Amino acid sequence: MLENATIKATSHLGDPRVTYNLEDGMVPETNMPVRFYLSPNREDGSASILVSEPLDYETTQFFSLRVRAQNVAAVPLAAFTRVYINITDVNDNVPFFTSSIYEASVTEGAQIGTLVLQVSAHDKDLGLNGEITYSLLSDSSGDHNFFQIDPKNGIIYTEAVFDREARSSYLLEVQSEDGQESARPGKNKQPNT
């Protein structure tokens, strides 16, 4: 989030006013397409750098803007400066599973704690924003009671010894949740899931 980034140049030759403009860039990191613009502050002769549209850390992590300051004169003089802007990550990405359906088999009579399979989700956000925790969701079938999941690595284990003749299939729903409150609208300070 850019907060109150201003630039100011002074001229001691004749008219003290200075005009500012952002030089055209050639790549996203140099403001092409335009993500930033200048707004003059007439009271103190400075200019504010403002964001023209939402920024996405996952697309561009930093910007290097070239600003031209020019005095008001018949033959104007110009000076240039660079403004470096680092974008910080917010928790705006949802963790997505690498597959929407997983299937696995367990031998009947296998002991409790037998590995069933590992689910995997990915989140583009950094640090805790992208740190995923897994859980089994409960439903009226009670299938979740026969299994457990490692919350950190997504490995599902048995919590019962199964008899194929008594029951041959189970359906589990796994939730992935990231590690910080969401920056997405309407999430009410809850993580993305």
* DSSP line for 94-115: --EES-S-------TTPPTT-E
DSSP annotation of 42 reads T
Confidence of residue 14 (pLDDT cuts 50, 70, 90): confident
Where is pLDDT greater, at 12 or 68?
Answer: 68
55-67: pLDDT as tens digits: 999 999 999 999 9
Confidence of residue 170 (pLDDT cuts 50, 70, 90): very high
Q: Is 18 exposed, middle or buried (0-12, 13-18, 19+ CB in 10 A)?
A: buried
Q: What is the per-residue pLDDT for 73?
A: 85
Q: What is the per-residue pLDDT for 1?
A: 46
Where is pLDDT greater, at 4 or 32?
Answer: 32
Percent of the chain past pLDDT 70, that is, above it, reads: 98
Tell me if 124 sits within 8 A of 59, measured CB to CB.
no
Cα separation, 106 vs 158, in Å, equals: 9
Percent of the chain past pLDDT 90, that is, above it, reads: 83
Tell me if 125 sits within 8 A of 89, measured CB to CB.
yes
Cα separation, 48 vs 135, in Å, equals: 47
Phi, psi of 110 (to 5 degrees): -65, 145
